[in-house]
Structure 1
Amino acid sequence: MVQLILTGLLCGGLLGFVMQRGRFCITGAFRDMYVTKDYRMFIAFLVAISIQSIGVYLLHLFGVIQFEFGNFMWFATIFGAFVFGVGIIFAGGCATGTWYRAGEGLIGSWMALATYMISSAMMKGGALKSVTASIQSQQVEAQTIYGTLGISPWVLVALLVSITGLLVWKQLSKSRVKIPTMKPKKTGLAHLLFEKRWHPLFTATLVGLIAIIAWPLSEATGRMFGLGVTTPSANILQYAVTGDHSFLNWGVFLVFGILIGSYVAAKGSGEFRFRVPDASTCLKSAFGGILMGVGASLAGGCSIGNGLVETALFTWQGWISLPFMILGTWTAAYFTIVRPRKKVTKKVKISSQTA
C-alpha cells in the first residue's frame, strides 16, 4: 500500500506540475487547430505520444512491462470520443486539464470535475452501467493496428516518429515572434521551475517521459496500464460511497498527485488564486463535466487514456478515438466560439454601413 500511494502520488505530482507550468492543454491543442489555425500544441501532443511509444515498446521488448488488449468497441469508441470532445469545450479543459486547473483554484474546474466524476461513476458501475455495457457490446476482434496489418509495431513507431519529426522541424523553422520578457524576480532553479516560460515541445518531452515511467510504476502494483484519468476519477467517488478498498488503486493516487503537483506549481509561480465564474460558466462547466464522464466511459478512455496512451500502443481504439475527439471539439467550438464571433462581426459590419 505504501508503494502504491508513494509512486502514484509521485508520478501524478510530476505530471500535474509539468502540465501546469507548461500550460499543456489538450483541449487547446484540438480547439486551436480549428479556431486559430495554430498547430503548435497539437504537434507537441504528437511529440509526447511518440516519445511514450518508443519508451513503452522498449520496456515491453525487455520484458519490463506487459500489455493487455481488449476487443475494439468500435461504436462506443466513435460515439464516446465525439461526446467527450464536445464536453471538453464546455468544461474548459479535458479530464486531466480539469484536474490540474482545479489545482490552480478555478472553481469552474472543480464543478466540471465533480460532474465528471459522478457521470463516469454512474456509467462504469452505477445506474447506467447496463447502458454502457450495451453500447460497448458492438465489438470486433481487431485490437492493434500492427496486428491487423501483420507487421512489427516498430514500423508504426518509426512512421509516427518520422512524421512528428517533420512537423516539429517545419514548426521550428518558421519565423518566431519575439515575446517581451520582464526582468526575472527569481534566480537559479526557482526561476527555471516557477517563472521562466516553458516551450511546448519541452513540456511535451517531459509529459512523454512521465507517461513511460507510469507503466512500470503502475504494473508493479498490479494495475496493467499507464496514465489514465477517467476510471480513477470514478473510483474515487465509488470508494467514497461504498468504502470498498478495491477501488483504491494506483490510478486514484495518480489523479490526486496531479492535483497536488498543479497546486505546488501554481503556488510557486504566483498563479494560484480562487476564481469564481459567473452562473452561465458554472452551468457550462457542469454540463461539460457530464459529457466528459459519459463520453470517456463509453470510449474506454479520455484524451490521456485514449489520446495519449492507446495511440502510443497503436491500438484501433486509440487512433479511431483521437480524430473523433477532435471532431467533437471542433463541433462544439463552432457553436460556442466561431459562430458567435461571426454574428458579432456581421452586426458590426451592418452598423458601420448604416452609420
Structure 2
Amino acid sequence: MAVIEAVRSARRPVIERAPAARAGVVAVGVLLAVALGAAVFNAAGWKLTLLYVFGLLLGLALFHSRFGFTSAWRQLATVGQGTALRAHMLMLAVACVLFSVVLGTGTSLSGAPEGNVLPAGVGVALGAFLFGVGMQIGGSCASGTLFAVGSGQTAIIYTLGGFILGSIASAFAANWITTLQKIGPTVSFADTPLGYPGAVLISCAIIGVIVGISVLVQRKRNPPPAGRPPAARGIARVLRGSWPLWAGAIVLAVLNAATLFVSGGPWGITSAFSLWGAKLSGWLGIDISGSAYWRVPEHAAELDASVLADKTSVMDFGIMIGALIASALAGAFILHRNVPWRTALGAVLGGILMGFGARMAGGCNIGAYFSGIASFSLHGWLWGIMAVGGTYAGILLRPAFGLTNPKPSDSIC
C-alpha cells in the first residue's frame, strides 16, 4: 500500500475527456486479432494462443496506462519527477511476490518454471548502458516500441527497424558476446537459507530504498506534475483510457507472472527481433544462418520453425495489435507523417544500440530488468543501474536529433 500511495503522491492534473473512438480502426484491429489468433492456434496450439492473448492484454495495458521506461528515467534525470519510477517499483514488488509462488512451488503448465537468472557482469553492464543511450535517442524502449508502433506512431517504426538491424549485427558477434556475458557472478536472492520468502524480503527492501530516494529527490527539486492523456469517465475508462500508473503496474506484473505459469519462462521481447531479422534477411536472399548465434542448435531450430510457433514473437504481435485496438478505442490512433530526418536518424541509431545492447545484456527493459528482478536475479538490478547511466548520456545526445528534454516549467506526460 505504501508504494501505491507513493505512486499517487504527485500533484494530480485535470484529465481531459477522451475524443470519440475510431470505430473503423477498432474493427480492423479486432479482425486482425482474431485472424492472427486463429493462425497461431493452427500453427502451435492452445498454449501459445493463450500467450498471444496475454500479448493483446499487455498491449492494452501498456497503452492505456502509458507505462513507460524511457520517459520514467528521463523525467527523474532531468527534472526529478519520480512518479513513473515508483510505478516501476510497484510493478516489480507485485511481480516478485507472484513469481515467488510460481518458482517456489515449481508449478507451471510447461514443466518446471525457470526465471531469468544470468551473470551480473560485463555483458549486462555494457549492454544495458548501450540500451539506455539507445532508449533516449530512439524515443522508446522495447515494450514502448511495440505499443507505439501499434498505436500509429510511425516515427517509432524507424526505431523498430533499427532494433532489428542491431539484432542482426549481434548474431555475428555472438561468440564474444557470450564470453563477456560469462564474466561476472550469477547471484539469485533465492539461494539463501530463507529461499523465496527471503528473496521477496530482499527485493522489497531494495524497492523500498529506491522509492524513498525518489520521493526525497522529488521533494527537493519540486518538479512539475506528471500529466495524463485524455480519458473517458466512469467504467468506460477501462477501455477508453487513461489508466492510473499504479493500475498499469499491477496488470503488467500479473500478466508477466501468468506468462511464467503458462510457458515456464517469464515475459521477454527482443529475442523475437533477432528471429525477424534473420527471417527477413532470408526472404531478401541474404542467408545469415551461418552466423555464430544461429549455429547454436536451439536457435537454429527456432529459425527453421514458423514465427507463429515462437512464444516471444506471438506475444510481440499481440502487444502491437492490442495497442492498436486500445488507441483506436481511446480515439488516439493517428498516423504521424513527415517525420524530421534528424528524428528518423536518431530513431534508427537508437534502435540499433538497443538491439545490439539487448543481446549483449541478455535482455531488454522487460526480459532483463523487469523479468530479471522478478526472478530475483542480481543482474536485473545491475541492468537497471547501467541503463540509468546510459539514460544520462542519451539525454545529452537528444538535442542533436531534434529531440527535447523536460524542463522544470513543463507539465510532464
- Does TM, normalized by the shorter one, top 0.5? yes
Query: SS at the partner of 1:304?
Result: helix
Provide the aligned length of Structure 1 versus Structure 2.
329
Deviations 1:206-250 (A, max 9, x none): 11111111112222xxxxx21101102222232344562166411
Q: CA deviation at 1:281?
A: 0.4
Alignment of structure 1 residues 120-199 onto 2, 5 Å: 120-124=167-171, 127-136=172-181, 138-147=182-191, 151-161=194-204, 164=207, 167=211, 189-195=235-241, 197-199=242-244
Q: CA–CA distance in 1 between the matches of 2:183 and 2:226?
A: 50
Q: CA–CA distance in 2 between the matches of 1:332 and 1:101?
A: 20
Q: CA deviation at 1:188?
A: 5.7
Q: State whether structure 2 residue 141 is matched by structure 1 residue 94.
A: yes
Match of 1:53 in 2: 96
246-255 or 60-69: which moved more? 60-69
Mark the CA change 1:179 to 1:27 in structure 2 (over 3 Å): closer, same or farther.
closer
Match of 2:14 in 1: none
74-83 or 61-70: which moved more? 61-70
The letter of the residue matching 2:124 is T
Q: CA deviation at 1:313?
A: 1.4
Mark the CA change 1:337 to 1:152 in structure 2 (over 3 Å): closer, same or farther.
farther
The unaligned stretches of length 5 or more in structure 2 are 1-43, 283-302, 408-413
Cα contact 2:67–2:245 (8 A) shared by 1: yes
Cα contact 2:167–2:277 (8 A) shared by 1: no
Cα contact 2:117–2:188 (8 A) shared by 1: no
Match of 1:239 in 2: 279
283-292 or 150-159: which moved more? 150-159
Q: State whether structure 2 residue 383 is matched by structure 1 residue 321.
A: yes
Cα contact 2:167–2:356 (8 A) shared by 1: yes
Q: CA–CA distance in 1 between the matches of 2:227 and 2:319?
A: 29
Q: State whether structure 2 residue 154 is matched by structure 1 residue 107.
A: yes
Q: 2:328 aligns with which of 267, 270, 278?
A: 267
Cα contact 1:81–1:328 (8 A) shared by 2: yes
Match of 1:351 in 2: none
Cα contact 1:266–1:272 (8 A) shared by 2: yes
Q: CA–CA distance in 2 between the matches of 1:265 and 1:322?
A: 29
Mark the CA change 1:27 to 1:103 in structure 2 (over 3 Å): closer, same or farther.
same
Q: CA–CA distance in 1 between the matches of 2:350 and 2:334?
A: 22
Cα contact 1:8–1:250 (8 A) shared by 2: yes
Deviations 1:291-346 (A, max 9, x none): 000111100010111110101112121111110011101221134369x999xx9x
Match of 2:298 in 1: none
Deviations 1:172-196 (A, max 9, x none): xx999798998x8x6764343204x
115-124 or 264-273: which moved more? 115-124
The two structures have a TM-score, normalised by structure 2, of 0.72
Q: CA–CA distance in 2 between the matches of 1:13 and 1:67?
A: 23
Match of 2:61 in 1: 18
Q: CA–CA distance in 2 between the matches of 1:153 and 1:178?
A: 35
Mark the CA change 1:244 to 1:178 in structure 2 (over 3 Å): closer, same or farther.
closer
Mark the CA change 1:144 to 1:336 in structure 2 (over 3 Å): closer, same or farther.
same
More helix by share: 1
Match of 2:128 in 1: 81
Q: CA deviation at 1:88?
A: 0.4
The letter of the residue matching 1:239 is K
The letter of the residue matching 1:217 is V
Alignment of structure 1 residues 280-319 onto 2, 5 Å: 280-319=342-381
Mark the CA change 1:133 to 1:178 in structure 2 (over 3 Å): closer, same or farther.
closer
Deviations 1:64-90 (A, max 9, x none): 142266651611111111000000001
Match of 1:205 in 2: 250
